[in-house]
Each structure stands twice: as structure tokens, then as C-alpha cells.
A = this chain, B = another copy of it.
């Protein structure tokens, strides 16, 4: 079993020990993911990237972990294969943003 699979297994054990899967409906997991992303962003509020890293790196690390934890649990509950899902999306992004058209440019694909 690969890394991601092992992490998901541990997360499921964590949830089952606490009998928490009953609360983990996909809609509330998506809400939770978005809240953790906001807590991560809060570490950068009123700051440059440099200031945020200097002052908040420990907390950034924890919030980023929470984001990943919810993303992994939601993927698992929806029967999505995390690795495959990311590779497929990267392929789609590669088509949306062809190298020659998008090099050095931050335009949205519909403006390329």
C-alpha cells in the first residue's frame, strides 16, 4: 500500500475510534475543508509572505495539514483515488495551459 493509502487508513482509524463517521457527510466535509483553508489564509492576513512565514510557520504547517486531512477523508468517502485524480487534473490543466502559450504568463486559460 502506498503512502497516501496508509495516511487514509490512519485517518479512518482515528475517525472510527471516535465514532465520528456519522457526522462526516460530504457537504460538511467540504465546508470544513473550506474553513481550514481560511484558517491557513488567516496566517497571511495583513502580512507579506515573508512576514507570515517568519511569524507563523508552525501554525501554517498545522493548518495545511488540516486541509490535507479533510481532503483525504472527503476523497476516501467519495471513493476517489487521490493519486489518479491529481494526475488526471494535471493532464487537463496541461491541455488548458499549453506550454508555449502560457509560459511566464498568469492569464486565465480563457484569456490565453
On A, residues with C-beta under 8 Å from B are: 2-4, 7, 10-11, 14, 17-20, 22-23, 25-28, 30-49, 52-53, 57, 60-62, 64-69, 71-72, 74-75, 78, 80, 82-83, 85-90, 92-94, 97, 99, 102-104, 106
Contacts and interface: CB of A to CB of B under 8 A. Distances in A.
A8 to B, nearest CB: 10
A91 to B, nearest CB: 10
Contacts of A99: 17-18
Given A30-B43, A40-B30, A71-B71, A65 B78 contact: no
A50 to B, nearest CB: 9
A78 B63 CA distance: 13
